[in-house]
């Protein structure tokens, strides 16, 4: 596998015109409103810092010029003691800003710590932390602030910061907890977990970046709120009024009856400073919101050029010099005779455990997947396909429980590992290194605030700590090239890509570590047929080139027949038929399979009647006695109510065989459940299909023709 020269050239072209990550901050400054806000805040900060050097007078020094309005010698006038108000304002900025920023830092830290921890860990920890936050939320904050401040009158700014932190953290924690609860269930967090990312990295890279807008709003709001609280406490005389702050200026103005005597210059500057600083902070907040949210940025401060993803020119050049990463050779392509088993699932049972009892979503499922093989899993909604996929990847979560069965994975070196016995570390290595997953909806499985390249790189960082940055960049570009995405898209956000590109990006994430198996759960469901076809062709091409095996789940039967080597049909949590795709298509053995095939429309060619399947899928908690398909089966007879059919092996005229769980086939030999590796396509036994009335509804058509509707 080589680097794509065209992709690199494209990356170079955009990289030249690009900025690096540092330029992100420059983009923030392109919004005039944000820029004004930042400039104002900066002016206040600078004035606060340089106050001792630029103040014309000592703020406490009295003089004879009492209650003089603004003049050349006292720009903002004087108090009734002749103190210079400009000097008091400058010194006051120090205390007010210190309280504002100090309280915001502590409050935000506490909110993030409690909120994110509670939301992410869940369970009893969440309940306890939420209880604590709720207790603080129901306490009336103003009286509490006044009481606490009254007990700490001489503790200065630090005391006020503590009071504001204690009374103010709970709101932010509650909002962040709610956001974390929703984020941790999102597919991209699941995907990060599945790739083996460590918890702290998931929190830092997936949870927190998606909450930056809330955290920034909380921080900037707390700065304004803390300055106002400090001013209010000082105004009420509950702060140290000998320490100059904008609040103490208002306190002395009020005690000096400035309002009554018309000395507006005494109280207006402090009030105005608080209002202007609050407005400036809000402008900065709007800017951060736009900056963080790529969609807002598109409409706001970003330029077209800035939005085009760019790969750092330096990185790409270094990559070119170093050449492609070393890859392991592709496995031999799959053949029907292959006995090279990579995944062996036996008698697997997965149940959802709830108050109403146990729901067996997957029951006694056995199959083998051979190296390079595509196993298609079909079945109506609710038949247990996704539950099976999650169980074999061990991504199932409570209430799902694997209550029985075995899953064995055979490494390329021939050694076999028990997947169900793996501990967390082994699982972390197994997932993505050996087995990866392409989730159903790429929009949800990709992190909306991370660039595509960064998301692919994350998987590499988690599993290949020894790889340096240029090697990782090379691999990202290589992977994008493999799935046909231009290299310059590495720096695009998910919403900037088409649905097809996003899905291909997900496949690139799945391929990042050269897995042996890829589980694809309806990877093309949300796409139109043209894109769907492109993606399927890409998967097949990659499979042939890289030699991985695929477990492919979809409702689209024609697609499944076209791309699979073997098809397993699930009904009511069980595999009711398993056969080579061609045999399945030409000679479906189970009445349910025949119903499925007959209910699938063709896209062109001669019209045929869609007969469908009468009735609805069964309630897994109350399966009918005997065969679960019996109530819907046109061939059901008395014994079907009494006996749960096992899988029978049915020989095919051409030498293959199918497995079908139907009593119509009792004269066929029962399949040895203990030996599911026996190849249904290469172990001919008696041909009972005709006797079972299986017929050959498609004997004159090929799987491809089912999709197109053409027949020979």
| Interface contacts to ligand ATP, rule CB under 6 A | 352, 354, 359, 361, 379, 381-387, 399, 620
Dihedral angle, C-alpha 424, 429, 433, 438, nearest 10 °: 20
Instruction: Label each residue of 606-656 as H, E or C.
Output: CCCCCCCCCCCCCCHHHCCCCCCCHHHCCCCCCHHHHCCCCCEEEECCCCC
SS3 at position 294: helix
Contact status, residue 393 vs residue 194, Cβ threshold 8 Å: yes
Check if the beta carbon of residue 57 is closer than 8 Å to that of residue 84: yes
Tell the smallest beta-carbon distance from residue 353 to ligand ATP (Å): 8
Query: Between residues 361 and 535, which has the closer beta carbon with respect to ligand ATP?
Result: 361
Smallest distance, Å, CB 441 to ligand ATP? 12
Integer Cα distance of 249 and 268 in angstroms: 10
Structure tokens at 151: 């007990």
- Give whichever of 445 and 497 is closer to ligand ATP, judged by the CB atom: 445
Stretch (H or E) spanning 198: none
Lookup: tokens for 354? 């709830």
Pick between residue 379 and residue 651 the one whose CB is nearest to ligand ATP.
379
Least distance from C-beta 396 to ligand ATP, angstroms? Answer: 9
CB of 620 to ligand ATP, least distance (A): 5
Nearer to ligand ATP, 224 or 366 (CB): 366
Cα(468)–Cα(702) distance, rounded to whole angstroms? 49
How is residue 206 annotated by DSSP?
I
The length of the chain, given as a count of residues: 712
Nearest residue (CB) to ligand ATP, 387 versus 593: 387
Does the bond joining 399 to the residue before it have cis omega, within 30 degrees of 0? yes
Q: Please tell me what DSSP assigns to residue 333.
A: P
Taking the complex as a whole, the smallest distance from the CB of residue 219 to ligand ATP amounts, in Å, to 37
By C-beta, is 318 or 358 nearer to ligand ATP? 358
Burial of 699 (0-12, 13-18, 19+ CB in 10 A): exposed
What is the closest distance, in whole angstroms, from the C-beta atom of residue 389 to ligand ATP in the complex? Answer: 8
Query: Which residue is associated with the tokens 């291909």?
Result: 504
Q: CB nearer to ligand ATP: give 48 or 361.
A: 361
520: β partners: 438, 552
C-alpha to C-alpha distance for 636 and 623, rounded to whole angstroms: 16
**How many angstroms separate the CA atoms of 561 and 333, rounded?**
18
C-beta of 322 vs 358, nearer to ligand ATP? 358
C-alpha dihedral over 279, 283, 285, 286, to 10 degrees? 140
Single out the residue of 333, 659, 386, 372 nearest to residue 522, CA to CA.
Answer: 386
Closest to ligand ATP by CB, 119 or 618? 618
Q: Which two tokens stand for residue 373?
A: 């093989």
CB-CB contact of 372 with 549 (8 Å): yes
- Please say whether the beta carbons of 516 and 548 come within 8 A: yes
Q: Compute the distance between CA of residue 355 and CA of residue 338 in angstroms, rounded to an integer.
A: 45
Rounded to the nearest whole angstrom, what is the least distance from the CB of residue 183 to ligand ATP in the complex?
19
Least separation in angstroms between CB 640 and ligand ATP: 22
CB of 399 to ligand ATP, least distance (A): 5
Closest approach of ligand ATP to the CB of residue 404, in Å:
16
CB of 577 to ligand ATP, least distance (A): 15
Nearer to ligand ATP, 416 or 616 (CB): 616
**Residue number with CB closer to ligand ATP (361 or 483):** 361
């Amino acid at each position: 596998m080589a680097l794509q020269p065209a992709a690199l050239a494209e990356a170079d072209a955009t990289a030249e015109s690009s900025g690096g990550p540092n330029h992100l901050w420059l983009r923030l400054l392109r919004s005039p409103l944000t820029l004004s806000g930042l400039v104002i805040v900066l002016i206040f900060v600078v004035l606060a810092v340089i106050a001792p050097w630029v103040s014309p007078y000592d703020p406490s020094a009295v003089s004879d010029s009492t209650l003089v309005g603004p003049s050349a010698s006292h720009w903002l006038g004087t108090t009734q003691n002749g103190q210079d108000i400009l000097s008091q304002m400058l010194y006051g900025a120090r205390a007010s800003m210190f309280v504002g920023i100090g309280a915001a830092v502590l409050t935000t830290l506490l909110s993030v710590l409690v909120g994110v921890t509670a939301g992410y860990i869940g369970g009893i920890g969440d309940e306890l932390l939420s209880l604590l936050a709720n207790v603080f939320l129901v306490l009336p904050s103003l009286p509490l602030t006044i009481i606490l401040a009254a007990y700490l009158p001489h503790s200065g700014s630090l005391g006020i910061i503590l009071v504001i932190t204690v009374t103010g953290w709970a709101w932010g924690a509650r909002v962040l907890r709610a956001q974390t609860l929703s984020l941790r269930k999102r597919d991209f967090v699941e995907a990060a977990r599945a790739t083996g990312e460590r918890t702290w990295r998931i929190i830092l890279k997936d949870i927190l970046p998606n909450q930056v807008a809330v955290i920034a709003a909380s921080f900037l709001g707390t700065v304004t709120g803390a300055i106002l609280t400090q001013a209010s406490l000082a105004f009420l005389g509950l702060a140290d009024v000998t320490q100059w702050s904008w609040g103490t200026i208002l306190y002395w103005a009020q005690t000096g009856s400035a309002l009554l005597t018309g000395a507006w210059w005494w109280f207006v500057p402090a009030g105005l400073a608080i209002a202007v600083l609050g407005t400036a902070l809000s402008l900065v907040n709007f800017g951060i919101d736009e900056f963080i949210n790529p969609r807002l940025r598109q409409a706001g401060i970003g330029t077209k050029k800035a939005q085009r993803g760019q790969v750092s020119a330096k990185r790409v050049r270094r990559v070119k010099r170093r050449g492609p990463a070393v890859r392991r050779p592709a496995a031999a392509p799959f053949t029907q005779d292959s006995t090279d088993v990579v995944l062996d699932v036996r008698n697997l049972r997965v149940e959802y455990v709830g108050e109403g009892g146990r729901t067996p979503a997957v029951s006694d499922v056995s199959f083998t997947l051979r190296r390079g093989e595509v196993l298609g899993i079909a079945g109506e909604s609710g038949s247990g396909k996704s539950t099976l996929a999650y169980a074999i990847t061990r991504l199932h979560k409570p209430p799902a429980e694997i209550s029985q069965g075995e899953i064995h994975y055979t490494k390329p070196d021939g050694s076999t590992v028990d997947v169900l016995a793996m501990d967390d570390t082994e699982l972390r290595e197994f997932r993505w290194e050996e087995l990866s997953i392409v989730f159903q909806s790429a929009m949800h499985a990709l992190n909306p605030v991370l660039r595509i390249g960064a998301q692919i790189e994350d998987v590499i960082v988690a599993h290949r700590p020894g790889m340096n940055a240029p090697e990782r960049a090379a691999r990202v570009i290589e992977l994008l090239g493999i799935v046909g995405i231009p290299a310059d898209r590495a720096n695009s956000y998910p919403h900037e890509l088409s649905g097809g590109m996003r899905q291909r990006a997900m496949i690139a994430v799945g391929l990042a570590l050269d897995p042996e198996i890829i589980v694809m759960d309806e990877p093309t469901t949300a796409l139109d047929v043209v894109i769907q076809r492109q993606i399927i062709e890409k998967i097949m091409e990659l499979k042939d080139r890289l030699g991985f095996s695929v477990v492919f789940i979809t409702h689209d039967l024609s697609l499944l027949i076209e791309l699979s080597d073997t098809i397993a049909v699930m009904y009511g949590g069980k595999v009711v038929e398993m056969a080579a795709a061609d045999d399945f298509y030409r000679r479906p053995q189970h009445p349910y399979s025949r119903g499925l095939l007959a209910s699938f429309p063709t896209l062109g060619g001669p019209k045929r009647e869609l007969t469908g399947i009468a009735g609805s899928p069964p309630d897994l908690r109350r399966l009918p006695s005997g065969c679960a398909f019996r109530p819907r089966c046109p061939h059901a007879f008395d014994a079907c109510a009494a006996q749960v059919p096992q899988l029978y092996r049915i020989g095919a005229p051409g030498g293959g065989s199918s497995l079908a769980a139907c009593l119509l086939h009792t004269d066929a030999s029962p399949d040895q459940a203990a030996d599911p590796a026996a190849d249904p396509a290469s172990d001919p036994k008696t041909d009972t299909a005709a006797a079972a009335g299986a017929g050959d509804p498609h004997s004159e058509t090929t799987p491809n023709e089912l999709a197109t509707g053409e027949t020979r």
